[in-house]
Structure 1
Amino acid sequence: MLKPTIKETGVNESERILEKIARETFLSLWSYPSLYRGVGGGKELIDLTIYFNNTLILFSDKGEVKFQSDRDIQIAWGRWYRSAIKESAKQLYAAETFIQRYPNRVFLNKSCDEHFHFDVSSKDLKIYLIAVTRGISKDAKRHFDSIAPGSSGTLSYYYPAPESLILQTPFMVNDLDPTKTFIHVLDDKGVELLLEELATPTDFINYLNFKECAIREHNLVSIGGEEDLLAYYLQESGEKGHDYIPYLIPDGKGKLKIPDSAWKHFSNSVPYALHYAKRKSAKGWNEILQRFSDSIISGSVGEGADLPILMHAKAVESLASENLTSRAMLSRFLFEKYNSVPKNVRSSVVVPSIMRPERVFVFVFFPWGNSYKDYSEYLSERSSCMKLYAHVARYKFPKAEEIVVFGAVSQGGVIDSESIIILDGKQPVTGAERLLAQKIMKEHKILDSVTEKRYSLGNQWKVGRNEECPCESGKKFKKCCGQP
């Protein structure tokens, strides 16, 4: 039986802000502030935990540690570094060790009577560690501007540097301990930018993986700021989105250095305008996911109330795992179909995922009518119809390994309502199932004349300065994202 999930809130305002930002990317279903260890009377495990598809992201946020700008800068920096960064690292390593040793002792609340929903005992569980720092931008900008004007005020990074050198170099961070799990040290601007630009779990996780591989396997030595590495990453999009590690071009000494001007140049480029357009296009998909997620956490689902939260989470994960490129395309087809069909008419469209072509989405719009005595009767009828679509889709698209049937109210409905069915397409269709599917197609007019919607990203990177900006602002590119 699904019941409301009661979460703890962040201890301080900084943690609450971080949780709100993370929730917009990972949704309420996968974001958990202040989990607790089931030992010692319920001690806080970490400030924020993200779980998604056998991946944990642990955030430590020490709040705004005051930088003592009235002191000598090296003294002030050393004190701040130890309090804001080293203490976060200590907390992160401790949380990681605890989870690995006692995966069944992680709880949602301080009283330790509600276990964390997700299984973190898997041996191949991937863990990412992030230390978030705050309140350093003004001092960092003042320091860097004294060297060369125009700083963004974010931390800079020189990864192979020993701690002794870091303590003598204000506002620079290294690879804290190369013998342990890598810690991503992000200032408040950095974490907000990453969660805004990498606005899906898949994109965010893939970026973290890319960064760790670049530093520890491909000799990335230094970056001007987190935003500059992000620029390098985003400009290397493939046809399926950012689903691979971009090729790293080292200098003559076999090292890679990314200057602090990379983000400034990228943010005024065609690739960024196209990336921004994808973010806008994907908003409808994101809003649907938000409704699914919030209804599961609040225990107020319209269907499947008798099912446990993990079954609901697994179903929604299929939608949430789509990256930004795929979401933008799926959202476009979803809403184009919805808007093109007359009111109170049943319709459907079949669209494969860009990111995972073996996953096929069947969007079904089912009309609301006055003949239904109540909402539950309508849901029951729609659910039955969706099952028919799922059965036919298995037969009609035999190469699909996963079929996601998404049901919604067609135009003219009195309420907004969505539901999903996930079907494993790996099992071959039997002769009896084939005959039944053919009968359904004929009698119910379900997918009888529908083929998959195919799409191509095409040569979308070539945009003239006098052409309309790809970000869909309606302005010419030279007066929008193409401004110097």
Structure 2
Amino acid sequence: MRFRKSEGLNGSEQMLAELCERSFLKLWTYPNLFRKPGKELTDLLVVFGNDVIIFSAKACSYPDSGDADLDWSRWFRLSIADSAKQIAKAERSILSSPEKIFLDAKCLERLPIALPAADDMRVHRVCVALGALDRAEVETGIRGLKIKPMVLNDEERFTVGTIEKASGWVHGFDDVSLPLVLSELSTINDFIHYLNSKVALFVTAHFKYAASETDIVAYYLWHGRTFPAHDHDYFIEPGLWAKIEASKEFLAGREANKISQFWDGLTEYITDYYLKETLELGNEVSMSDYERAARILAGETRFHRRILSKAIVERREIARKNEIGAMLPSQQADVSYVLYVGRGDQGKDHEAYRKDRAQILQLRCAAAKAADPQKRFIVGIAMDASGVKGSSEDFVFIDTGEWTAEQIEKAQKVRTELGYFTERTAVLSRISEDEYPGSRRVVDVRKLADELSSLTVSESIELAGMLKEEWKPSDPEA
């Protein structure tokens, strides 16, 4: 194993690690880090390109002294205030000494992936405060903490606002809101976009408060992952999450997203082999190079992972009869995916078949560059048809950022001579995918170019363009 993460976790740290690794995947999620021998840095760190999320989790029993204000003040200090202090200290350490971040208490094993330069780093601060919701429900009738940006520290009971000791906005999550948000916004980019959108919301003068974090995320999803601008003071309607979750369109979207786990599984599958150094080819690739390539896969949003997963699963079924190749869309402007699905070795020499399939994938990746020259990164994925005995996978990552004119010319020659992704053989059709099936939101129309060759191989180019509009259930009052 290339490295081992900390296993000395308490209950709240274990819960946090499991939730974050499920959403953000293992290569970018690091619990219980240290800055000096025996000196903890933070409870969990997520590093993804230039984005760094610092998590601090505190599980504190709520006091019961008979003085309601004193009980809140004591709990706030031991959970939220101490978390903010830990996050601020961790942030300073990360910015000043990024090379001194360790996986173990003895500080023998460094963080295996590189942090961005201080000037490029985008820091997000997350406090997880557990233990107050039973008391909050008794006193307020709501099982959650109110979010009110104008409140400072502990001046209002069961309310999180601005925290004085923090170096920036600290996002406060509780026992209910943390698993909910990490379930509904379950990729790094989805989660970070939500955090950034909240910060932009909180600095506006017109937003006053929300009864709970769950209502904020409901409002965000309700309006197409935005917080609409207002020209007057307003608050977010209490109980909005219950309305969202009762919507048949929302539930249909959640069900439709299940297939997107195929993409998560694909990313974790190859990462497991790489970390265990059991790849057939590629174990010599440096951690930084592998992480850069895998980050592209993990950079897709949940909705786009659904699109990619459906495309692959459908083509694996088609490939039972005929091999199939495709250029698949990415939400990342400089990325193209190239898929090639073979029929399997058909009972013949698997090694010869695998070698031939890998070579075809390489050629298709070159042709994809010629077909769409503005794309810098080409990620190739080769696999076998669904249900094939003894199936295998190949992955290719190509950075064409420094390709010469001669290399581009060779790629164009491959495309022309082999007939991969050419205009001559392309037949355009249209498909669509609703993020929330049955909703009134207009979502994502793509062109699909099918290419038929003399080898009965179907090529496809999918170009995605998303239209963001406000989403609401068919009956907003329901």
Letter in 2 for 1:215: F
The SS at the match of 1:76 is helix
User: Between Structure 1 and Structure 2, how many residues are aligned?
Assistant: 442
Q: Which moved more, 1:104-113 or 1:184-193?
A: 104-113
1:31-63 CA distance string (max 9 Å, x none): 1111111x3x3421111111112211111112x
Residue 278 to residue 192, structure 1, CA distance change in 2 (3 Å): same
1:397 alignment counterpart: 372
1:238-283 CA distance string (max 9 Å, x none): xxxx4xx4323253xxx34213222122222365235414422312
The equivalences for 1:361-440 within 5 A come to 361-369=337-345, 370-372=347-349, 379-425=354-400, 430=405, 433-434=408-409, 437-439=412-414
Q: Which moved more, 1:119-128 or 1:378-387?
A: 378-387
Name the CA distance, whole Å, in 1 between partners of 2:205 and 2:431: 34
Q: Which of the numbers 112, 115, 132 marks the counterpart of 2:128?
A: 132
Kindly state the Cα deviation for residue 314 of structure 1 after the two structures are TM-superposed.
1.2
1:468 alignment counterpart: none
1:249 alignment counterpart: 230
Name the CA distance, whole Å, in 1 between partners of 2:166 and 2:56: 20
Give percent identity, aligned residues only.
Answer: 24
Contact kept in structure 2, 1:268 and 1:481, CA below 8 Å: no
Name the CA distance, whole Å, in 1 between partners of 2:428 and 2:39: 52
Q: Which of the numbers 138, 143, 155 marks the counterpart of 1:142?
A: 138
Contact kept in structure 1, 2:34 and 2:101, CA below 8 Å: yes
Contact kept in structure 2, 1:35 and 1:109, CA below 8 Å: yes
Q: Which moved more, 1:196-205 or 1:128-137?
A: 128-137
Kindly state the Cα deviation for residue 212 of structure 1 after the two structures are TM-superposed.
1.1
Query: Normalized against structure 2, the TM-score is what?
Result: 0.83
Name the CA distance, whole Å, in 1 between partners of 2:205 and 2:403: 43
Kindly state the Cα deviation for residue 116 of structure 1 after the two structures are TM-superposed.
1.0
The equivalences for 1:123-272 within 5 A come to 123-145=119-141, 151=142, 153-163=143-153, 165-166=155-156, 169=157, 171-177=158-164, 180-217=167-204, 219-237=206-224, 242=225, 245-251=226-232, 255-269=233-247, 272=250
The equivalences for 1:112-127 within 5 A come to 112-122=107-117, 123-127=119-123
Kindly state the Cα deviation for residue 106 of structure 1 after the two structures are TM-superposed.
0.9
Letter in 2 for 1:249: H
Name the CA distance, whole Å, in 1 between partners of 2:11 and 2:365: 46
Kindly state the Cα deviation for residue 27 of structure 1 after the two structures are TM-superposed.
0.7
Name the CA distance, whole Å, in 2 between partners of 1:463 and 1:85: 38
How much is the aligned-residue C-alpha RMSD, in angstroms?
3.0
Structure 2 unaligned residues grouped into runs of 5+ = 441-473
Name the CA distance, whole Å, in 1 between partners of 2:51 and 2:222: 25
Residue 96 (structure 2) pairs with residue 101 (structure 1): yes
Name the CA distance, whole Å, in 2 between partners of 1:25 and 1:459: 19
2:277 alignment counterpart: 299
Name the CA distance, whole Å, in 2 between partners of 1:29 and 1:276: 25
The SS at the match of 1:161 is strand
The SS at the match of 2:280 is coil
Contact kept in structure 2, 1:219 and 1:256, CA below 8 Å: yes
The SS at the match of 1:85 is helix
Structure showing the higher strand proportion among its residues: 2
1:431-482 CA distance string (max 9 Å, x none): 6754564456545x64453578864447977559xxxxxxxxxxxxxxx999
Residue 274 to residue 233, structure 1, CA distance change in 2 (3 Å): farther
Residue 481 to residue 289, structure 1, CA distance change in 2 (3 Å): farther
1:475 alignment counterpart: none
Q: Which of the numbers 59, 78, 82 marks the counterpart of 1:83?
A: 78
Structure 1 unaligned residues grouped into runs of 5+ = 146-150, 465-479
Kindly state the Cα deviation for residue 181 of structure 1 after the two structures are TM-superposed.
1.4
Contact kept in structure 1, 2:370 and 2:412, CA below 8 Å: yes
